[in-house]
Amino acid sequence: MLIRLYRYGLAFARAHILLFGAVKFLSGLVIGIGLGIYILPILTAETGLEQAELTQIRDSAMVSGDFRRDLPGSDFLHWGEGRIFVRANQIWLEGRLAPGPDYRLYLTPSFVDSKAGFQAIKQDSVQVGPIRAFENFSLPVPAGIDAPSWPALVIWCERFSMFITAARLD
């Protein structure tokens, strides 16, 4: 009985060994690609502004706001904290963001605190640019955009359509 069971198991394994190998390989490939998409931007992230630079430009801000971790649309993987500053030609953060791929900064016509809220106003918002540093980032404001006149901004992950954080500007 035991020998017959052993032979059956061996025959089954031989017949399906390629299938098992293919499933194992494809599973590893999918996991590897997924991790690569998420981790590569983190590994290639730029360094943000130094504390001396932040101190030097802080007084030139025309408006500012606060990112908080406790927004309804934020979670333990998607968050921002710190103070965001805006002047006519530059927007910068004195704080941190949860690392992730393909973050974009948007100026928005109203404050929103969730994915659904931002998707409802995204067409009326203006993309300032990609965020390439997760701490103390700085972005130039494109020509023709009056950044200080917008009441709020949002950080959004384009790749996964995820809300990261938002701030009211005053």
Tell me: the pLDDT tens digits for 76-130?
999 999 999 999 999 999 999 999 889 999 999 999 999 999 999 999 999 999 9
The span from the CA of 154 to the CA of 110, in Å, is 10
Decide: 65 and 167 in contact? Cβ < 8 Å: yes
The span from the CA of 104 to the CA of 21, in Å, is 40
The span from the CA of 170 to the CA of 153, in Å, is 11
The span from the CA of 4 to the CA of 102, in Å, is 57
Tell me: the pLDDT tens digits for 43-73?
677 888 788 888 888 889 999 999 999 999 9
Q: In what order do the strands lie in the sheet with 126-130?
A: 126-130, 103-108, 152-157, 162-168
Amino acid residing at 33: I
Structural tokens at position 37: 């998409």
The pTM assigned to this predicted structure is: 0.79
